[in-house]
Chain A
Amino acid sequence: MSALSVSATFAAAEFQTPSIEYSKLMPMLIVFGVALVGVLIEAFMGRTGRHQVQLILSIAGLVAAFVSVTMLAGDNQIAAVGAVAVDGPALFLQGTILLLAIPGVLTMAERSLDRGGVFTSAGSSTPGSEHERVLTATGVTQTEVFPLTMFAVGGMLLFPAANDLLTMFVALEVLSLPLYLLCGLARRRRLLSQEASLKYFLLGAFSSAFFLYGIALLYGYSGTVRLSGIAEAVSSNSGSDTLLMTGTALLAVGLLFKVGAAPFHSWTPDVYQGAPTPITGFMAACTKVAAFGALLRVLYVGLGGLAWQWEPVMWGVAILTMVVGSVVALTQTDVKRMLAYSSIAHAGFILTGLVATDTVDPDTGAVLGVSSVLFYLLAYGFITIGAFAVVTLVRDAGGEATHLSQWAGLARRSPLVAAVFTLFLAAFAGIPLTSGFTGKFAVFSAAIAGDAAPLVVIGVVMSAVAAFFYFRVVVLMFFNAPAPDGPAVAVPSPLTTVAITLSVAVTVLLGVWPTQVLDLADRASQFVR
């Protein structure tokens, strides 16, 4: 018998057609489908009306995907031959990402603040060149951002649901690549925006390499990329510990980079400052949700048996992140950079909840480490999107006025905008009756239940430090005299107004009446294994 026919019979006997449960993957399929249709619209539709069609299509796709997430609610199974988990945390986070993407897309579509929209109409031209001037003069609106955003959202939906490391890596790249591009498309201050894009791309590619190398080592350890398989290998204690530890560390570097935790946070301020502000808001909220989802799944499902080893490291990372984020934010003079450092600090607060492994609430049976993080991410996402949307409104002749000194006396020019921004800052600081308080309360009580009281003490102290720089801005807005040539508050179109109103509503609602959502997070806190 020749070699060829041997391999042929072997394959025929072993081969089984895989099956994919398309209905379980519906949210992702809808979003990717809409992105594809968006690409075709870019290819075949005329300029006029393209913006409106893309906007309506994107919002409709996000809403439809959200509806299909709610229809899957309660599911607890593994789909697509083990590649995708459809369980509580995955569905909760997918719902969160879709809800956050709606105000995100609305702010991106804003066209009345800047002629032609937030994004440059000449992405490929050299900043300051004649070519750029000619293209900008046409006043063309950039509409490719809509399919790009939808691709990013699709990747974000897959990221927290990925049940094997290769799927997770593909999701990571699908969500990152469009974001790298979107960061470089600002209409004003294009050099800064392109620098942000390049930095994000280089560092992101670097961290992806870490992530991939971690996957390779964990595969070498366990012989599988499936998280449940890795968990089995860990519990049976087979294989080389060196491979396991190094692999875990490299994987964690890749994920902690995406959530923006110290010491892997250095890209955050530059990228958040340079990117177009609606993109910053979208990225700060949605990427963090997706990346924390993936981090939770890897640490709880794949490496849960190793918790004794990674918990102390996560303690250290959480403390460092909270301290760096809060303390460095004190010295910032640019409102976008300040919010970037505040997002780093918040990553630290979320990490305190994450270390409460295996701590189960005796009444509800909820895994506290998971449910508190789920709730915090939802609360934090809406505050962030709302805060960055407010930043787009404060403008002078050169575009957005982001230097803090320009915000002095803003309350006299527009009491409403100042009040809304104060609400978001109060929520960031964790003042009661805002969603930020409920979220902080949830993660800190989870950490206490998980015997991490010292972490909570540091968390509370750092919250106080953070409150100082948030309220410095409030004092600046309300009690300082406005500069004579200071910025004005622009009146946005209904798009941004709706986005900000939605964020305000969620922030207040989750602060005053959080029970329903807390219950939902409790019920959604079980990973399928």
Chain B
Amino acid sequence: MNSYVPILVLGALSLGFAVVSIGAGALTGPKRYNRAKLDAYECGIEPTPQPVGGGRFPVKYYLTAMLFIIFDIEIVFLYPWAVHFDALGIFGLVEMVLFIVTLLAAYAYVWRRGGLEWD
């Protein structure tokens, strides 16, 4: 049972965070409703009503989403390394540098080719 305590604490913390954030927003935030505020998402494509055939929407969304996933995955790999940085030693450092340099090359390519510009 003892080993489950951290999980319960984490669950309680996240629940508390959710309740506090939503509650604080509802209590203290300014309330200026307009059409955009009532949409499911404040940015991005209109989910409803769907145009015939799905309609067309910019490929930029995919580009942004893919870039996000790349860095998301990077964090996934960085995290265990950061936790065990001392045990992994020089080997871990070399591997991580190789990994980050590889990603950086791709990032430089995206940047130079205008992948980060919205328009």
Residues of A participating in the B interface, judged by any CB pair closer than 8 Å: 2-4, 6, 11-12, 15, 17-20, 36, 39-40, 42-44, 124
Given A6, A17, A20, A40, which contacts B88 in the complex, CB threshold below 8 Å?
A17
Query: Closest residue of chain A to B89, judged by CB?
Result: A17
Which among A4, A6, A17, A18 has the greatest number of chain B C-beta atoms within 10 A? A17
- B91 partner residues in chain A, CB cutoff 8 A: 17-20
Contact of B84 among A2, A6, A11, A124 (CB under 8 A): A11
Question: How many Å from the CB of B92 to the closest CB on chain A?
Answer: 7
Cα(A4)–Cα(B102), bound, Å: 34
- Distance in Å from the Cβ of A37 to the closest Cβ of chain B? 8
In the complex, chain B residues 65-119 whose Cβ is within 8 Å of any chain A Cβ: 84, 87-89, 91-92, 95, 102, 105-106, 108-109, 111-113
Additional 7 contacts, C-beta under 8 A, given A15-B84, A17-B88: A3-B2, A40-B105, A40-B108, A42-B112, A43-B105, A43-B111, A44-B108
In the complex, chain A residues whose CB is within 8 Å of the CB of B5: 3
Cβ A3 vs Cβ B3 within 8 A: yes
A11: B residues at CB distance < 8 A: 84, 87
**CB-based closest 5 A-B pairs:** A3-B3, A43-B112, A43-B109, A15-B87, A43-B108
CB distance from B104 to the nearest CB of A (A): 10
Determine whether the beta carbon of A39 is less than 8 Å from that of B88: no
Interface residue? B6 (CB, 8 A): yes
Number of A-B pairs whose CB atoms are under 8 Å? 42
Please tell me if the beta carbons of B87 and A17 are within 8 angstroms of each other in the complex: yes
Sampled A-B contacts (6; CB under 8 Å): A2-B2, A11-B84, A18-B91, A20-B91, A40-B109, A44-B112
Residue of A12, A15, A19, A42 near B109 (CB, 8 A) is A42
- Which residues of B are interface residues toward A (Cβ below 8 A)? 2-3, 5-6, 59, 84, 87-89, 91-92, 95, 102, 105-106, 108-109, 111-113
B106 and A39 within 8 A (CB):
yes
Residue of A nearest to B101 (CB): A36
Contact residue among B87, B92, B112 (Cβ-Cβ distance under 8 Å from A12): B87
Q: Which residues of A are found within 8 Å of B84, using beta-carbon distances?
A: 11, 15
Q: Are B6 and A4 in touch, CB under 8 angstroms?
A: yes
The smallest C-beta distance from A41 to any residue of chain B, in angstroms, reads 10
Q: How far is the CB of A77 from chain B (nearest CB, A)?
A: 19
- The smallest beta-carbon distance between A43 and chain B, in angstroms, is 4
**B119 shortest CB reach to chain A, Å:** 16
User: For residue A20, which residues in chain B have a CB less than 8 angstroms away from its CB?
Assistant: 91, 95
Give chain B's interface secondary structure class: helix
Bound together, the chains give a CA A122 to CA B109 distance in angstroms of 18
Instruction: Please report the C-alpha to C-alpha distance between residue A297 and residue B86 in the assembled complex, in whole angstroms.
Output: 37
A3-B3, A15-B84 are known contacts. Are A39 and B105 too (CB-CB below 8 A)?
A: yes
Q: Are A43 and B113 in contact (CB under 8 A)?
A: yes
A80 to B105 CA separation, bound complex (whole angstroms): 24
Cα–Cα distance between A39 and B92 once the two chains are bound (Å): 25
B112 touches A36 (CB 8 A): no
A462 to B89, CA, bound (A): 59
Contacts of B92 in A (CB 8 A): 17
Shortest CB–CB separation between residue B71 and chain A, in angstroms?
Answer: 17
| Neighbouring B residues of A40 by C-beta, 8 Å | 105, 108-109
In the complex, A6 Cα to B91 Cα: how many Å?
Answer: 25
Please, how many angstroms separate the alpha-carbon atoms of A3 and B6 in the complex? 8
**Beta-carbon contact of A36 and B105 below 8 Å:** yes
Q: How far is the CB of B107 from chain A (nearest CB, A)?
A: 9
Give the CA-CA distance A43 to B64 in the complex, in Å: 18
Cβ of A3: which chain B residues have Cβ within 8 Å of it? 2-3, 5-6
The smallest beta-carbon distance between A206 and chain B, in angstroms, is: 21
**Please, which residue of chain A has its CB at the minimum distance from the CB of B110?**
A43
Question: For residue B102, which residues in chain A have a CB less than 8 angstroms away from its CB?
Answer: 36
Q: How far is the CB of A146 from chain B (nearest CB, A)?
A: 13
Determine the chain A residues whose CB is within 8 A of the CB of B113 once the complex forms.
42-43
Give complex CA distance A42, B111 in Å: 11
**How far is B94's CA from A231's CA once the two chains are assembled, in angstroms?**
33
Closest CB in chain A relative to B61 CB, distance in Å: 15
Q: Measured between alpha carbons, how far is A68 from B91 in the docked complex, in Å?
A: 23
- Tell me, in angstroms, the Cα distance from A19 to B112 when the chains sit together: 36
CA distance A511 to B109 in the complex (A): 46
Report B-chain residues with C-beta under 8 Å of the C-beta of A124.
59
Complex-state Cα separation, A39 to B113, whole angstroms = 11
A15 to B92, CA, bound (A): 13
Q: Write the nearest CB–CB distance from B4 to chain A, whole angstroms.
A: 8
B111: chain A residues at CB < 8 Å are 43
Determine the chain A residues whose CB is within 8 A of the CB of B3 once the complex forms. Answer: 3, 6
When chains A and B are docked, how far (Å) is the Cα of A284 from the Cα of B107?
32
A127 to chain B, nearest CB (A): 16
The interface residues of chain B lying within 8 Å CB-to-CB of A36 are 102, 105
> Which residues of the other chain, B, contact A43 by a CB distance below 8 angstroms?
105, 108-109, 111-113
Q: How far is the CA of A40 from the CA of B102 in the complex (A)?
A: 10
Chain A residue nearest in CB terms to B88 = A17
Please give me the residue from chain A that is nearest to B113 by CB atom: A43
CB neighbours (8 Å) of B2 from chain A are 2-3
A39: shortest Cβ distance to chain B, in Å? Answer: 5
Interface centre among A4, A39, A124 (most CB of B within 10 A): A39
Q: Which residues of B contact A15 (CB under 8 A)?
A: 84, 87
CA distance A6 to B6 in the complex (A): 13
A44 to B88, CA, bound (A): 34
Output the nearest chain B residue to A29 by Cβ-Cβ distance. B98
Residue of B nearest to A3 (CB): B3
Docked CA distance A476–B102 (Å): 51
* Best-buried of B88, B102, B109 by chain A (most CB within 10 Å): B109
| B59, B92, B108: residue with the most chain A Cβ atoms closer than 10 Å | B108
For B95, list chain A residues within 8 Å (CB).
20
